[in-house]
Amino acid sequence: MHNSGDVQIPIGPQHPALKEPESFLISLHGEKITAASVKLGYNHRGIEKACEERTYIQDLYLIERICGICSHSHSTCFAQTVEEIAGIEIPVRAKYIRTLIAELERIHSHLLWLGVAGHEIGFDTLLMYTWRDREIVMDLLAQLTGNRVNYGINTIGGVRRDIKPGQKEAVLNAMDALEERTKYYIELAQAETTLIKRLSGVGVLSRKDAQHLGAVGPTGRASGIERDVRKDDPYAAYAELDFKVITSDKCDVYGRTLVRVGELMESYSIVRQIMKKIPDGAITVKVPRKIPPGEAIGRYEAPRGEDLHYVRANGTEKPDRVKVRAPTLANIQAVSKMLEDRYLADMPIVVAAIDPCFSCTDRLVAIRDTQDKKHKHTMIWETLRLKGIEWHKERGIDFTLLNKKLADIFKK
């Protein structure tokens, strides 16, 4: 697979980009990547097995902890699947509350991504501002659910907390503030040539490859695949809400950026519709502890793409089998394709652009020259990032002025 004349670089397994730490083996010819392969599994925690030994309600909390960013995605997907097996219809108000938290989670996740993307290319003012904006939605989530990250809002049969009087205004005010900011980011993404030049043609994934490799979410949509579980296979309250599926035919990191900022605008609109349409009523129905035998598949559009849960019940209070297919697993195969024939300097942004979850442990990148086995040197992720920024600076893409410009605008 790798030519012996090339330099091979193992990157990982500990790597700041990932929900599950993983290992890349990069083959270089000069500065160009000729082949990239991925090894996963370093963060396998045996959650599926653990689920078989716990009750459904315990599993809900365990599953919420699969991911620190899309925690609500997994817990909702699991709850929906179990409710389907049990033949339970949850109250409409509970569906709306689930949808509200889901969209707030998407907003926080996409803003987080925008900041990380900015950081990887040396546009750190964008990181500072988007993460400050993200605090607005984090505070809102804490206010609504009591938690910033693992919200614990779901239960089998509905939700655990109602929206209190006064919170509606807080939600709407937050949406107004965020919309204004996001409009500026969209303007920036469409007008700033530095940003456009840096992201265009990087990490290309053709529509055909995206389809073939099973890319999901914004990664697939930026390659022109108009697919969104919220629209295609509606769950929670999405069937009653009006929104557009944002796509791009650019097939590169720039396209993935446009899709995500576009989705932010759609999410603000969805949240406003929820606050307008949410009916009064109960927020939970009683569900027996023992779930009748059966099986079901739940699908959910997480911020990173389709999340799929398969649950088989055997009539007891514990499931017989729980299977989780998180979106990153569907997208990771596409990364190897995106890296092929690209420069090493683009690797950080290409990996970041599928929005894998960063686990902040080790940041080691080891570089090995296969022609000279005696010399091994290692590079930390940070060095690779800085190298990438400098590499592009030498070729005329410099974010210094744009950083300053953005800082000046928000200072006023």
Partner 1 sequence: MMLDGEKIKEELENRFNYLKDAVIIKRESRIFAQIPLEKFEEVFRYLVKQSRFDALSAITGLDSGNGFTVIYHLHREGKILVNLKVDLNKEKPAVNTVTSYFPGADNFERELIDLLGIAVNGLAAGNSYPLPDNWPKGEHPLRKDWKGRPSASSV
**H/E run at residue 138:** helix 124-145
**Bridge partners, 311 (sequence order):** 296, 322
- Residue 201 binds to partner 1 (criterion: CB under 8 A): no
Decide: is 48 part of the binding site for partner 1 (CB under 8 A).
yes
Question: Of 175 and 237, which has the nearer Cβ to partner 1?
Answer: 237
Bond from prior residue into 348 cis (ω within 30 degrees of 0): no
Please check whether residue 267 is in contact with residue 107, taking contact to mean a CB–CB distance below 8 angstroms. yes
x/- binding map, residues 371-410, to partner 1, per CB under 8 A?
----------------------------------------
Residue 233 sits in the site that holds partner 1 (CB under 8 A): yes
Question: For partner 1, which residue of 160, 167, 214, 366 counts as binding (CB under 8 A)?
Answer: 214
Q: How far is the CB of 154 from partner 1 (least distance, A)?
A: 21
Q: How far is the CB of 213 from partner 1 (least distance, A)?
A: 5
3-state helix, strand, coil in the chain (%, to 5): 50, 15, 35
Residue 118 or 319 having the CB closest to partner 1: 319
Question: Helices (DSSP H) in 23-70: which residue ranges?
Answer: 47-52, 56-64
- As separate numbers, helices (DSSP H) first and strands (DSSP E) second, the chain gives 15, 10
User: Cis omega before residue 13 (within 30°)?
Assistant: yes
49 binds partner 1 (CB under 8 A): yes
The yes or no reply on residue 26 touching partner 1 (CB under 8 A) is: no
Distance CA 142, CA 148 (A): 5
Give, as ranges, the residues between 69 and 108 that touch partner 1 (CB under 8 A): 84
Phi, psi of 223, deg, nearest 5: -105, 25
For position 330 contacting partner 1 by CB under 8 A, the verdict is: yes
| Selected binder of partner 1 within 62, 128, 265, 329 (CB under 8 A) | 329
First to last CA, the chain: 55
Contact 81, 310 (CB under 8 A): yes
Determine if 10 is a binding residue for partner 1 (CB under 8 A).
no
| Paired residues of 294 in beta bridges | 313
* Among 5, 30, 41, 281, contact with partner 1 (rule: CB under 8 A): 41
Contact 230/270 with Cβ under 8 angstroms?
Answer: no
Task: Report the residue number, 201 or 294, with the smaller CB distance to partner 1.
Answer: 294
- Could you tell me which residues come within 8 angstroms of residue 221 by beta carbon, excluding any fewer than 6 positions away? 227, 228, 245, 246, 247, 248, 259
Query: Tokens 């009916």 label which residue?
Result: 279
Determine, following the binding rule CB under 8 A, whether residue 325 of this chain makes contact with partner 1: yes
Nearest to 275 by CA among 182, 169, 176, 180: 169
Residue 286: Cβ within 10 Å count: 8
Neighbours of 359 (CB within 10 A): 18
User: Considering the rule CB under 8 A, would residue 228 count as an interface residue with partner 1?
Assistant: yes
In the complex with partner 1, the residue whose CB is nearer, 45 or 289, is 45
Burial (CB < 10 A; 0-12, 13-18, 19+), residue 162, is middle
Segment near partner 1 (CB under 8 A); pick from 224-232, 282-290, 344-352, 364-372: 224-232
From 99-107, 226-234, 236-244, 360-368, span contacting partner 1 (CB under 8 A)? 226-234
Residue 367 within binding range of partner 1, rule CB under 8 A: no
Q: Which residues, numbered 257-316, are part of the site for partner 1 (CB under 8 A)?
A: 295-297, 299, 306, 308, 310, 312
Closest CB to partner 1 among 312 and 387?
A: 312
Is 362 a binding residue for partner 1 by CB under 8 A? The answer is: no
Residue 51 found at the interface with partner 1 (CB under 8 A): no
Q: Is 44 in the site for partner 1 (CB under 8 A)?
A: yes
Q: How many positions of this chain bind partner 1 (CB under 8 A)?
A: 35
| By the rule CB under 8 A, 340 interacts with partner 1 | no
Q: Are 370 and 7 in contact (CB under 8 A)?
A: yes
Residues forming contacts to partner 1 in the complex (CB under 8 A) are: 39-42, 44, 46, 48-49, 84, 211-214, 227-229, 232-233, 295-297, 299, 306, 308, 310, 312, 320-321, 323, 325, 329-330, 332-334
